[in-house]
Amino acid sequence: MPELPEVETTRRGIEPLITGRIVTRVVVRVAKLRWPISRTLEETLCGQSILGVERRAKYLLLRFGAGTALIHLGMSGHLRVVPEATPAGKHDHVDIALSDGNCLRFNDPRRFGALLWLPNDPQDHPLLAELGPEPFAAEMDGDYLFQRSRGRKVAVKPFIMDQRVLVGVGNIYASEALFRAGIDPRREAGAVSLKRYRLLAEAIRKVLAEAIAAGGTTIRDFRGEGGKPGYFALQLRVYGREGEPCPGCGRPIRVVRLGQRASYFCASCQK
């Protein structure tokens, strides 16, 4: 599933290509992805200018004067800006045609993505209303994580993956950040000290920043805007490396399941 770095990579790729363009046509080839697409989407968008492209957690927000188009890429969806005349492929479900002759094309093989029209403030929508802070927000630091973790018996890895606590830390990036901070992913969240949470907050920001700079992490399906894969997979230190030597001590990387997710770690370096 595309995580925050992959979604941010997509946002940065499409933003300069569509901002300021006027919508001339909307083609909806599949009426329902994860949820139904508004039947009046073409009527609503035609003639409107795209004011900007923002991201909240794993959601992309296309801003218009009359509201916001919220897009979620689901398990394997992606967006492309292509000439409008480009023939649609099997899984190209929605085209938003633009005044420069191009179109924003939404491809989603598994149909777990979403395209919703929000006429009001998107932050009030149920999908966004209860989300925690962004990892690069000023209020997201070690002190914040420490306070939110008090009394929590859940393991620290699923704790930092809880979108109500903090958005954008998916399975890959949680494993990598905990390794850099030297924290065992199995440790109870409430048992981690303030000092270590400060290290973890910094590690989360660094891992995500490096992943964004590398264009995300291609494990199976993700491709950035333009079709290029993400290259952060080449920088992974523990994720997907079960049995390989730890880059810190040389002992084998282990894997356990936490919250039904594979968690990679070094039992020697992470305490």
Answer yes or no: are the C-beta atoms of 204 and 168 closer than 8 Å: no
| CA atoms lying within 13 Å on the CB side of residue 125 | 18
- Tokens 């994860």: give the residue: 34
Q: Of 11, 56, 58, 196, which is the active-site residue?
A: 58
Please check whether residue 236 lies inside any domain of the structure.
Answer: yes
**pTM summary value:** 0.88
Q: What is the CATH number of the domain that holds 70?
A: 3.20.190.10
Strand ranges in 44-141 using DSSP code E only, listed in sequence order? 52-56, 59-64, 67-72, 78-83, 92-98, 102-107, 114-118
Q: What is the CATH number of the domain that holds 197?
A: 1.10.8.50
Please check whether residue 137 lies inside any domain of the structure.
Answer: no
pLDDT in tens, 74-131: 988 999 999 999 999 999 999 999 999 999 999 999 999 999 999 999 999 999 999 9
Given 129, 162, 188, which residue is the final one in a domain? 129
241 is in an annotated binding site: no
Same domain, 47 and 164: no
**Count: domains in the chain:** 2
Please confirm, yes or no, whether 58 is among the known catalytic residues. Answer: yes
Please check whether residue 228 lies inside any domain of the structure.
Answer: yes
pLDDT in tens, 229-245: 444 565 799 999 999 99
Same domain, 209 and 99: no
Same domain, 161 and 118: no
Please check whether residue 45 lies inside any domain of the structure.
Answer: yes
Please confirm, yes or no, whether 2 is among the known catalytic residues. Answer: yes
Phi/psi of residue 63, each to 5°?
A: -90, 130
pLDDT in tens, 175-186: 999 999 999 999
Please check whether residue 135 lies inside any domain of the structure.
Answer: no
Domain that holds residue 236: 142-265
Exposure of 67 by Cβ count < 10 A (0-12 exposed, 13-18 middle, 19+ buried)? middle
Q: In a 3-state reduction of DSSP, which class is residue 155?
A: strand
Please check whether residue 271 lies inside any domain of the structure.
Answer: no
Our CA angle for 205, 211, 215, nearest 5°, is: 145
180 is in an annotated binding site: no
Q: Of 12, 34, 63, 261, which is the active-site residue?
A: 261
Same domain, 29 and 125: yes
DSSP at 269: T
Please check whether residue 168 lies inside any domain of the structure.
Answer: yes
Our CA angle for 129, 131, 135, nearest 5°, is: 140
Same domain, 123 and 146: no
72 is in an annotated binding site: no
Same domain, 146 and 125: no
Exposure of 256 by Cβ count < 10 A (0-12 exposed, 13-18 middle, 19+ buried)? middle
Query: How far is 132 from 62, CA to CA, in rounded Å?
Result: 21
pLDDT in tens, 200-230: 999 999 999 999 988 754 433 333 455 554 4
- Provide the residue type at 5 as one letter: P
